[in-house]
Structure 1
């Protein structure tokens, strides 16, 4: 069963629902009338009452509200809460990572923070958040003054866009900076609590201070290298909460010595906006939605043997122009596409609403990886036209 909600349902997810005849419910009026055959809420609730191994997937955290209201008799609300609140998550894994510093601070107490009591640099993020909103790296006292002002501005904007379950500004998590390379991956836990990893992506950053979501990529080499380590971690994590029949999207860092430190676990979904699962399919032909909902475990040896050696990337075209979205009259998508050797899919987004111009999936030979490095550091000003005053 699948809950569909804003901000985005991909063509691939819709095709998956139709192909496998998955029961789906539109909880956010995100589909056109008659676009897909929908079921009613009662059917989903009845399935969960009659079968404790029922599975449900949400493409958006906006649907969490529906789960919390309608499936209170299941374990799902408990699973969601332990991961959705980043402070509860840190407490959950504290014994796995006893030396890791973290601290909770209330939104209205940001001005009372004593910097000499914190590790410098540090990361501050909302206890409940989404899409890098309010996530900042602080390197010194002057930086902290700037970041506090940014947080105030971001949350005034965000609360008009997302439900309170998604962006809750009541408290923040301050934690030490996690060194190393960053990765994201989708996984699920089966009816016996066994962890199943559904792909591996590397998250690239433009600089030390960059916390944006501009580029993720996957490849045969990447999956082969990190799949065993990530599977082992997810298994240990799942056993702490006794997770079963549950999908997650996980972000971690791995330092130079190979030590893994988790950043966060997002419950009930894979990557937001139908991104990571769709990229995994493009690169591997594995359909993560089908794998989870039909309990089909990937044969990674077979998948890797059939994969090519190219790099598959997800490029999130966030508005990094420093120009307010409501002042931009056009984004030149054709110019953007001309810069890439093999663009696979472009998704145009209402940038005046979401401050994201679009999502681009690409396939890149290793010797042309500079095209990915270039878009990673671009402020995208070359692609926008500004409305005349």
Structure 2
């Protein structure tokens, strides 16, 4: 069972639903898609009844959470979603695994009263309920703290307009220890016995220690092979506490230098957002949602055939700051020319989209110069027209 919703559904996802005739919730977004794809639209009452009976449910976007909370009666499913979505609740539940890890929840109204000098730096400030690195700040000194509070005050209203409260909450923020180590994003589902099934592992690379952007993720045979066993053990241990079944999730985690694995956030009932989970489709031929809905497990030995020494990347090109929405166009030919092998270029042309493109690219593992370049690039060079508000 599938829920399509804003902000975006790829043609790859929609064509899968059309081909398989999986039940799709008849909402406004799905009806719009059905003008191009022959979807099996199911009315709200019937869909809710079937989903509440234990049938596997997948949503392309957390914008579907409000509908799920209001209509699904599966208490265990709802418990798992709420627990994973609320970072403070999940941190509290997992505290026995990390007794030394420091975290606290602070309401927005209390932020200005926090004595930041009493906190051990660096630390992370982020919404307790969040998405897409929105409102995430690395705090290394008091100047960073003041800048973060100013940015929250400036942008909170626009966040609330773009995302429902179930996706990005506006009431509480989480202050937590900064976790050193490599960051990974994993698409995983928990089967009917609660056992984890990993469908993709992406390395999330940053331009610097204080960078929190979602610009570059990549996967490869080596990344999956080197981490699959330890991540599977970690998810099994985590689910001994969380206790979800028939449940998809996109989980971001860090691996510390001593091998300790700590989750950064868990995004329930979906895989990587904006349909970027389809990097697995471009890399290995995996539709992650198909494997989950059809209760399949990857045969990695077969899928890795011919993939030696190759990196498959998903690059998010965010709109440069200082450019008014709808007041710019972008040089997509220049974007295409920035990579030696573009597997797919997705133009994001709605004025409210926070990015102007997603790029799926293939790169030789021994020559990643184009990835290093785009990770640190000034994306205003791709702006073809429009007025900048920069001084």
TM-score, normalised on structure 1? 0.95
Alpha-carbon separation, structure 2, partners of 1:188 and 1:368: 33
**5+ residue gaps in structure 2?**
none
The answer to whether the 8 Å contact 1:105/1:171 transfers is yes
Residues 285-318 of structure 1, C-alpha deviations (whole Å, 9 max, x = no match): 1221111001011122332345343110000011
- CA shift for structure 1 position 281: 1.4
- CA shift for structure 1 position 46: 2.8
Alpha-carbon separation, structure 2, partners of 1:59 and 1:161: 16
| Equivalent position of 1:19 in the other structure | 19
Residues 152-175 of structure 1, C-alpha deviations (whole Å, 9 max, x = no match): 122121111111111211000000
Q: Does 1:373 align with 2:376?
A: no
- CA shift for structure 1 position 201: 0.2
| Equivalent position of 2:282 in the other structure | 282
| Equivalent position of 2:48 in the other structure | 45
The answer to whether the 8 Å contact 1:188/1:245 transfers is yes
Alpha-carbon separation, structure 1, partners of 2:82 and 2:127: 14
The answer to whether the 8 Å contact 2:26/2:44 transfers is no
User: 5 Å matches for 1:191-340?
Assistant: 191-276=192-277, 278-319=278-319, 321-326=320-325, 328-340=327-339
The answer to whether the 8 Å contact 1:67/1:76 transfers is no
* Residues 153/351 of structure 1: CA separation in 2 closer, same or farther (3 Å cut): farther
- CA shift for structure 1 position 386: 4.1
| Equivalent position of 2:6 in the other structure | 6
Alpha-carbon separation, structure 1, partners of 2:123 and 2:28: 36
The answer to whether the 8 Å contact 2:117/2:142 transfers is no
CA RMSD of aligned residues (A): 1.6
Moved more, 151-160 or 213-222: 151-160
Alpha-carbon separation, structure 1, partners of 2:366 and 2:324: 35
The answer to whether the 8 Å contact 1:6/1:28 transfers is no
Q: Give the number of aligned pairs.
A: 385
Q: Does 1:348 align with 2:350?
A: no
| Equivalent position of 2:382 in the other structure | 383
The answer to whether the 8 Å contact 2:77/2:244 transfers is no
Alpha-carbon separation, structure 2, partners of 1:152 and 1:254: 33
Alpha-carbon separation, structure 1, partners of 2:285 and 2:372: 25
The answer to whether the 8 Å contact 2:324/2:387 transfers is no
* Residues 27/233 of structure 1: CA separation in 2 closer, same or farther (3 Å cut): farther
- CA shift for structure 1 position 40: 1.4
Q: Does 1:100 align with 2:114?
A: no
Moved more, 105-114 or 256-265: 256-265
Question: Counterpart of 1:159 in 2: which secondary structure?
Answer: helix
* Residues 327/61 of structure 1: CA separation in 2 closer, same or farther (3 Å cut): closer
Residues 325-379 of structure 1, C-alpha deviations (whole Å, 9 max, x = no match): 3374211010111111000111111352122111110011123311011011112
| Equivalent position of 1:158 in the other structure | 159
- CA shift for structure 1 position 130: 1.3
Alpha-carbon separation, structure 1, partners of 2:194 and 2:11: 31
Alpha-carbon separation, structure 2, partners of 1:258 and 1:388: 47
Question: Counterpart of 1:78 in 2: which secondary structure?
Answer: helix
Alpha-carbon separation, structure 1, partners of 2:302 and 2:16: 22
- CA shift for structure 1 position 27: 3.4
Question: Counterpart of 1:336 in 2: which secondary structure?
Answer: helix
Alpha-carbon separation, structure 2, partners of 1:231 and 1:115: 37
Moved more, 83-92 or 278-287: 278-287
Question: Counterpart of 1:272 in 2: which secondary structure?
Answer: coil
* Residues 328/2 of structure 1: CA separation in 2 closer, same or farther (3 Å cut): same
Alpha-carbon separation, structure 1, partners of 2:349 and 2:129: 24
The answer to whether the 8 Å contact 2:14/2:33 transfers is no
* Residues 310/26 of structure 1: CA separation in 2 closer, same or farther (3 Å cut): farther
| Equivalent position of 1:61 in the other structure | 62
TM-score, normalised on structure 2? 0.95
The answer to whether the 8 Å contact 1:248/1:269 transfers is yes
Alpha-carbon separation, structure 1, partners of 2:239 and 2:196: 7
